[in-house]
A = this chain, B = another copy of it.
Amino acid sequence: MLTPERHKLILQLIKEKGVVKIQDLVDMTETSESTIRRDLTQLEEGKYLKRVHGGAARLQGKLQEPSMSEKSSKNLQQKRQIAQYAANLVEEGDSIYLDAGSTVTEMIPFLPAKEIVVVTNGLMHIQALLERNIKTFLIGGFAKEQTKAIIGRGALASLEKYRFDKCFMGVNGIHPQFGYTTPDQDEAMIKQMAISLSREAFVLADDTKFSEIAFAKIAELHTAAIITNELNEDQKESYSSKTTIKVVTA
């Protein structure tokens, strides 16, 4: 039995039961007492456990997970709900595009890890995607500081080689021509192209402030779902009058 296997087993046991006896570990790993002792010494040095007479115990002075500052933010919870719903739309084997933007980032922890391919222009997403071992392609181009997005002519050229099953866009920034307010022309063009390369397009809306016009305009062009928490009457109406667009309340 290889060292890392033993270590993993020991830590797992300790995590479950709190304490383990050396003799039990000897039996389970089919090694000698000496070996187990050495393992425990190493793991103790690495602050993974605490040795006690006859075995080892979990150490309790452990670091907790804080960051309550923003966790309680209602807005973030809402975002996360929407993101989770959107992530569930992704099926194994899908090739998807993730637009730059904080709401979309929230999707990543909920994505099915296996067999999906992600293409993105969002630099903020990279870390989370790689941590989850998701096959990730970044489009090339100019790195825009404010939004941490890849944009520009090169980005368009880089993007147009891909095709997607689904694409997920943040709520701020569909092309003006489509109905959304868009701060940046360059980013809008990227979004426009991503949508046109995708079989289905989804918009993640973390609030209900976007106008009904937005629905109408985008509905003329794509099969898309707008995922949000609440809908007012006007919006529902707008939805019902357009057949190519689904509005989902997560």
Contacts and interface: CB of A to CB of B under 8 A. Distances in A.
Contacts of A3: 52-54
Contacts of A5: 18-19
Interface stretch (A32-40, A72-80, A138-146, A228-236): A138-146
A18 B1 CA distance: 13
A150 interface: yes
Contacts of A137: 140-143, 154
Given A2-B54, A4-B57, A136 B131 contact: no
At the interface, is chain A mostly helix, strand, loop or mixed?
mixed
Interface in A1-29: 2-5, 8, 18-19, 21
A2 B52 contact: yes
Interface size, A (range): 35 or more
Interface string A132-164: 010111111111010010100011001001000
Contacts of A214: none
Contacts of A145: 130, 133
A174 interface: no
Copies of this chain: 2
A179 interface: no
A123 interface: yes
A17 to B, nearest CB: 9
A43 interface: no
A140 B141 contact: yes
Contacts of A150: 138, 140
B126 A143 contact: yes
A129 interface: yes
Nearest to A137: B142
A126 B143 CA distance: 8
Q: Which 7 A-B pairs have the closest CB atoms?
A: A140-B140, A140-B158, A130-B145, A136-B143, A139-B140, A4-B57, A2-B54
Given A2-B53, A140-B141, A140-B158, 12 more contacts: A2-B19, A2-B52, A2-B57, A3-B53, A4-B57, A8-B18, A46-B66, A123-B123, A123-B126, A137-B143, A138-B150, A140-B140
5 contacts: A4-B57, A5-B19, A46-B66, A126-B143, A130-B148
